[in-house]
Structure 1
């Protein structure tokens, strides 16, 4: 169920997106997230679709790999769509299901929010798929450097964020193993009463948290054994290099955000 999770995974390659500076990709992703949230019309989402498809094409990531990775969030997208479809009372009534009425505005709002979630996950997934964890950590650290004068531990914050992203697929794999083990012992996650399903979820969450804390403890011990002391006087094997193409890519995304704001009005 969780084997196709792509958030937090890195897919080595030599595409244009792989060769971009990690800082440029972080800035571009932040700008693209702003663009996604600015879109609130069909024309706006059409432009976002074109832009996202363009980013995917220069990423070099296989389409089948992307589609399999997006499958686990379909439940969240469909649930969000249904929630807005049945609870948003705007526009004309197009159907009645029991005590609920489905409005045209609710359908439109549900589609917009569902597409927004889809594009947000896709864009952030492309970031982690085309950026190695080391480069991602270095990029985050350098972007947070100006905050050090205010007492923000830039290196530690960047390290925690990159480790958290890196362990997302690992935790999903652990959850899948626990589900299979508990199912073999008679636990039922998709059937039975609400009480039985709750007990089954507890049998999943408890060992999952225990394994997560155990992994965190092992990682901390390994870092201490290697003399890790945070960002103090640390050198880097590879230095990030900002090139002209990185500036151009960020400018293209920024200009696209401005054009989208006026295009959909």
Structure 2
């Protein structure tokens, strides 16, 4: 299964998957609950910068190179969200809401970057195991939550790979030349994901 995990020895790499997931989820929740004011965008951006700087991603720039790459991969999400909300809610709310959404996605991506997928899956499954008494299948729920959490950064990485390959070949930019290889890579990833889930006995 395709994973974004990058080996390292930073704080988040050394932290167990369960506490790390709870910490980042708490940060996502805190950012999401910020009011729709101008300063909320600055707070959301500041939280992301600090967390990436402390993550120990080993990119030579205190995580800022990786943060820039992840943000660039989300540029269309940012543009569309900002544009639509500017029309519907006004500039202040649009900027604040877009910053909060972007921050939440970037923090979720950091989980994938610093945690092996198997460790993350095991941590979520352990956390949900007490709910088995209520009829919840903790293993299936853990798989669903883990796949959901890692899908956005994985798809963003696939999009980045397509763009880099096109630039290397000197291909003209455009949706038509981007969509076909991106769709092929996405379907290939879906097949790999299905095979990985089948290997774990998930049907």
With normalisation by structure 2, the TM-score equals: 0.73
Correspondent of 2:140 among 149, 156, 160: 156
Partner of 1:81: 82
Structure 1 CA distance for aligned equivalents of residues 111 and 52 of structure 2: 10
SS at match of 1:145: helix
Does 2:132 correspond to 1:140?
A: no
- Whether the 8 Å contact between 1:8 and 1:167 is mirrored in structure 2 is no
**After the TM superposition, which segments of 4 or more aligned residues of structure 1 sit over 6 Å from their partners?**
none
**Alignment correspondent of 1:114:** 98
Question: In structure 1, how many angstroms separate the alpha carbons of the residues matched to 2:49 and 2:190?
Answer: 38
Larger relative contact order (C-alpha < 8 A, sep ≥ 6)?
1
What displacement does 1:203 show?
Answer: 5.2
Unaligned runs of at least 5 residues, structure 1: 1-6, 89-105, 181-186, 191-196, 231-265
1:13-162 equivalences in 2 (<5 Å)? 13-40=8-35, 41-61=37-57, 62-88=63-89, 106-162=90-146
Q: Counting helix residues as a fraction of each chain, which structure ranks higher?
A: 2
Deviations, residues 3-53 of structure 1 (Å, cap 9, x unaligned): xxxx95111111111111211111112211221122113444444444333
Question: Partners in 1 of 2:51 and 2:142 — Cα distance?
Answer: 25
- In 2, distance between residues paired with 1:202 and 1:42? 35
Cα RMSD, aligned residues only:
3.6
CA distance in 2, matches of 1:74, 1:202: 16
Structure 2 residue aligned with 1:211 = 188
Structure 2: distance between partners of 1:84 and 1:166: 24
Give TM-score, length-normalised by structure 1.
0.58
Q: Does 1:12 align with 2:4?
A: no
In structure 2, the CA distance between the partners of 1:213 and 1:21, relative to structure 1 (3 Å rule), is closer
Aligned residues, how many?
190
Change (3 A) 1:145 1:67: same
Distance 1:167 1:76, change over 3 A: closer
| CA gap 1:84/1:176 in 2 versus in 1, 3 angstroms | same
Distance 2:77 2:51 in 1: 24
